[in-house]
Amino acid sequence: MAGGGGSEPNLTPFIDLFSVLICFLLMTAAWIQLDSMPSSIEKATAGPTPPVDMVTPPNDEKKISLSVTVYSDKILLKENDRELFVQNIGSQFDKEKLKLEFERWRMAYQDKKDVVLNTDALVTYGDLIKMYDLLVASDWPDVGINPQ
């Protein structure tokens, strides 16, 4: 018998305990699981480079500036002065071509981690996040979003 006596254990305290546990877990459960993507504002908004005579020993990494600009119909990949446009396929990014370019950058600048991400005014927030995600997936973890 569950209620008492006999050789069977009394299950009522178990039910009490489980009820309390379930109430606690239901109340504290995070039903909406979200991720976040941190942005490096300092790098994206860094001012103009200081004069040459103030700069301490030349460093290849400091000279290189990599940026990605998202337009509504194309993507501009800028590697210092070298520019490359990648046209969108319909309304989607040409992910294959972009990935190849990002991999080439990765191979060329193995110690560099940061890329500045610019956007045109007509672009949506969803496109910005897609490009951010693509950069992180292509091993460019330090993405600075330019707020200008």
Partner 1 sequence: MDSEKIKGYASRVIRPPGYHIHPQWDLVHTRHLLHERRHKKKSFHLNLAPMVDMFSILVIYLIMNFSSSGEVFFISKDVTMPKAAKGLPMQSFPIISIIGDKVSFDAENVEGRPVYVEEPNDQKVPQLRNVLKKIRTIEVEIAGEKNFKGQINLQADEKTSVENVKKIMRVLIEEGWTGINFLVQPDK
Assess 52 for contact with partner 1 (CB under 8 A): no
Query: Of the candidates 5, 7, 31, 54, which one interacts with partner 1 according to CB under 8 A?
Result: 31
Q: Binder to partner 1 among 5, 7, 33, 81 (CB under 8 A)?
A: 33
Check: CB of residue 97 under 8 Å from CB of residue 86: yes
Per rule CB under 8 A, is residue 88 in the interface with partner 1? no
CB 106 within 8 A of CB 114: no
**Of 63 and 147, which CB lies nearer to partner 1 in the complex structure?**
147
If binding is defined by CB under 8 A, does position 55 make contact with partner 1? no
Q: Does 105 bind partner 1 (CB under 8 A)?
A: no
Nearest by Cα to 80 from 94, 62, 95, 96: 62
Q: Are 77 and 90 in contact (CB under 8 A)?
A: no
Instruction: For residues 84 and 99, give the distance between their C-alpha atoms in angstroms, rounded to a whole number.
Output: 13
User: Which residue from 47, 58, 60, 125 is in contact with partner 1, where contact means CB under 8 A?
Assistant: 125
Q: Is 41 in the site for partner 1 (CB under 8 A)?
A: yes
**Tokens standing for 134?**
């693509």
User: CA 99, CA 91: separation in Å to the nearest integer?
Assistant: 17
Binding site for partner 1 (CB under 8 A): 1-3, 11-12, 14-15, 18-19, 21-22, 25-26, 28-39, 41-42, 45, 119-130, 132-133, 136-137, 145, 147-148
